[in-house]
């Protein structure tokens, strides 16, 4: 089913912050989905994203078995934003150089903006950010310009304006980055040009309608472990199926002591 509104795709490299990126985007009334890095390019193209965000991740681009996307994905004609490891993947695939940092950064740092850019519109020239990386980009790809730095990282951000490709070594999605929301908004609305045309309530309503149409008055079962995902799925399914829904409790062995009883209740 074609979604009649703006869409952002997040490609997940295994970052602990990927869900937070999605939350920040959705809080700005923009629809987004998360795809694993293993997703084929055909699936990505079929989604028809207005922009693609490459998440961070725990790997290094020079590690054996490090997660990568194909360079062909970067040739999709939409704006790209690489965050942390996502920026390093972008740099590596586009011909830049990534190396282990002499001084690994984890925690607060101070960003110094070097170039005027749409991505940093409305941000002070110097501001606190949150870093979490062990590698750095020592050479940006050809036709990319470095737009900011920190004390330990000379390439804290870069961009190729013609291709609308942007990278941030720091994490704009966390609260510790003072202008993080502003930076994400600049990418969404000024660079990608998406609209604030989606509401969570609309999403829930559409899913209720989809499930109701799929079940067509028949009975349905829902596996329920008590976790957030299965519980939300059960609540939405219940709105659609009502008395025809039977939830089956699956004790996955990961609940707290006596929690299985409370879930059943």
Q: Give the active site residues.
A: 84, 171, 173
Q: How many CB atoms lie within 10 A of CB 161?
A: 15
């Amino acid at each position: 089913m074609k979604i009649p509104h703006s869409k952002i795709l997040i490609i997940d490299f295994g970052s602990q912050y990927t869900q937070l990126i999605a939350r920040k985007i959705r809080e700005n009334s923009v629809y987004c989905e998360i795809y694993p890095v293993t997703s084929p390019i055909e699936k990505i193209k079929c989604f028809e994203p207005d922009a693609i965000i490459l998440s961070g991740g725990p790997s290094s681009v020079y590690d054996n078995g490090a997660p990568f996307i194909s360079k062909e994905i970067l040739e999709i004609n939409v704006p790209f934003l690489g965050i942390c490891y996502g920026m390093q993947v972008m740099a590596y695939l586009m011909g830049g150089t990534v190396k282990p940092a002499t001084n690994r950064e984890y925690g607060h740092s101070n960003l110094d903006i070097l170039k005027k850019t749409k991505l940093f519109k409305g941000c002070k020239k110097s501001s606190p950010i949150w870093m979490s990386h062990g590698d750095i980009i020592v050479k940006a790809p050809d036709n990319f310009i470095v737009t900011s730095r920190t004390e330990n990282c000379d390439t804290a951000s870069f961009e190729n304006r013609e291709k609308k490709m942007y990278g941030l070594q720091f994490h704009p999605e966390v609260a510790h980055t003072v202008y993080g929301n502003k930076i994400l908004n600049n990418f969404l609305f000024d660079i990608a040009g998406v609209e604030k045309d989606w509401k969570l309530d609309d999403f829930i309503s559409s899913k209720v309608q989809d499930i109701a149409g799929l079940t067509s008055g028949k009975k349905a079962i829902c596996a329920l472990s008590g976790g957030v995902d299965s519980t939300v799925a059960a609540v939405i399914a219940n709105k659609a199926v009502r008395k025809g829904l039977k939830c089956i409790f699956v004790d996955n062995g990961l609940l707290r002591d006596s929690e299985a009883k409370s879930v059943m209740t």
